[in-house]
Amino acid sequence: MTTDGKQSTALAINGGTPIRTEPLPWELPGAHWIGDEELDLVSRVVRAQSPFRYYGADLQHMVDQLEGEWQTRLSRKHALAVNCGTQALHICLAAMGVGPGDEVLVPGYMWVSCISAVVRLGAIPRLVDIDDTFCMSVTDLEAKLNSRSKAILYVNMSGAPGHIDQIKDLAKQRGLWLLEDCCAGSRGQPCGAFGDMAIFSFQLNKNLTSGEGGLIVCDDDHLYKRAFAIHDLGFSRNAAGRLDPSDPNYQLWGVGARMSELSGAMALAQTRKLDQITAAMRTAKWRIRERLAAIPGIDLRNVLDPSGDSGPFMLMRFQTGALAQQIVEAVRAEGVRGPEGSLACLTLKDWGLHWYFNVQSLVHKRSIADSGFPWSHPDNAFHAQIDYSRGTLPVCDHYHDRGALLTVASRLSDQDIDDIASAFEKVCGVLLMP
Ligand SMILES: Cc1ncc(COP(=O)(O)O)c(C=O)c1O
């Protein structure tokens, strides 16, 4: 502030007074809400000395309850808790029978886990560009489908879905599996209601957290039973929770991705707070967004259904990459930053393994095996025609170069919200002046 009480227009990055000096809260949504409820449920598991979900001295059935609540939330027939989102992706694609000779369509703006799930199963990722929703483009998807296409891995990126209903129709017409990767968010029907299978992560950055954790939902009994066997040791379990290798249909190979009762207890307590957490972020985000929308020169992400936005991120684009960089640096200097290690505000160039060409193991077609599998598999020889380097997906490249991201914490005060919006107004008022 100046001595007459007016806000200084000199940018903090140029020596002016910053809008705020107090760090903003960390962006980790569910973590801010951890309290007595989590402690109570976790303590019950500890006191019962029964941390394994399938049997124990005094089983508390935390994971069973968690799955039940998610089935109800999403109106899905089955829910299966697992140890993380990365394994959930692998398990679902494995349940769908994805393997050598198959292509899985994956957007170029995603998380590295989406690609690794495909490659570890011996299939080939086919990259699809995004549109202004920052999710998979329907047009580019149609152009990329071919006789080897087996499944579409649709990612509800950065908290809001794109044209998932159209993609669902397309998958149905072409007889393809649809796997929905839900960062969170909903659109009329909740996110996770569209895909043949859908997955969630409960890692620390997610809307609810158990530190590590994930969940799969689906309606099809066979897919569920395959996923169940694969998530465990390759077999079903009987009513006593013991492995049951008797059914030849479910004598498979397991990845050991069960959820423990301790994680189940945490995730259950957080699930019961999820609507509150999401509402807090969504409200804060749209209050900030309303003010940013009035600033000429900021092009905000197209969110098709604001009521379905889960709120953790605001994505925007500027006219040039240089401007995006300058604005982010100046906004951070105004105090839009959190404690050391948090993200707060950054350019999309700094959004690492969310961009296809930053996944060097993909660009260079790396393998875990000495044999070079899956790239060396004869049924995958067609991959020689596929290039994963930068330039493959022009819209992704465009947003990567000019984009910026603001994280929205789940515990922002009115003052925090005002400061964030004021910082953008102040910075853009100077840097975007005609
Ligand atoms: C889109 C997406 N898919 C999958 C995952 C993997 O989840 P996890 O960290 O639980 O393995 C993440 C995690 O950030 C993600 O953002």
Given this model, what pLDDT does residue 305 score? 85
pLDDT tens digits along 206-246: 999 999 999 999 999 999 999 999 999 999 999 999 999 99
Q: For 147-200, how does the pLDDT look when each residue is reduced to its tens digit (9 = 90+)?
A: 999 999 999 988 888 999 999 999 999 999 999 999 654 455 678 889 999 999
Residue 339 lies in a domain: no
Dist. CA 198 → ligand 1 center (Å): 13
203 lines ligand 1 (CB under 6 A): yes
9, amino acid identity? T
**Residue whose token pair is 């089935």:** 71
Is residue 8 very low, low, confident or very high in pLDDT (cuts 50, 70, 90)?
Answer: low
- Å from CA of 10 to ligand 1 middle: 40
Q: Whose CA is nearest to atom 15 of ligand 1?
A: 111
* Lowest-confidence segment of 43-57, 188-202, 356-370 by average pLDDT: 188-202
Tell how far the Cα of 415 is from the centroid of ligand 1, in angstroms: 31
Token pair for residue 73? 């939330």
* pLDDT of the residue at 9: 83
Count how many domains the chain has.
Answer: 1
Give, using CA atoms, the residue closest to atom 2 of ligand 1. Answer: 111
Residue 10 lies in a domain: no
Residue 306 in domain: no
63 within a domain of the structure (yes/no):
yes
Ligand 1 in reach of 155 Cβ (< 6 A): yes
Å from CA of 209 to ligand 1 middle: 12
363 within some domain = no
- If one residue of 118, 164, 183 were mutated to test the ligand 1 pocket, choosing by the most ligand atoms within 8 A of its CB, it would be 183
**Separation CA 409–CA 25 (nearest Å):** 6
Nearest by Cα to 123 from 144, 163, 96: 96
| Mean pLDDT, rounded, of the chain | 95
The answer to whether position 136 is within a domain reads yes
Taking the alpha carbons at both ends of the chain, their separation in whole angstroms is 25
Residue 47 lies in a domain: yes
Domain hosting residue 162, numbered range? 36-270
Is the shortest distance between the CB of 214 and ligand 1 below 6 Å? yes
Which numbered atom of ligand 1 lies nearest the CA of 87?
11
From 115, 201, 207, 266, mutation site for ligand 1 pocket: most ligand atoms within 8 A of C-beta: 201
DSSP 67-105: HHHHHHHHT-SEEEEES-HHHHHHHHHHHTT--TT-EEE
Question: 129 in a domain, yes or no?
Answer: yes
> Do 165 and 190 contact (CB within 8 A), yes or no?
no
Radius of gyration of the chain (CA): 23
Can you give the CATH number for the domain in which 233 is found? Answer: 3.40.640.10
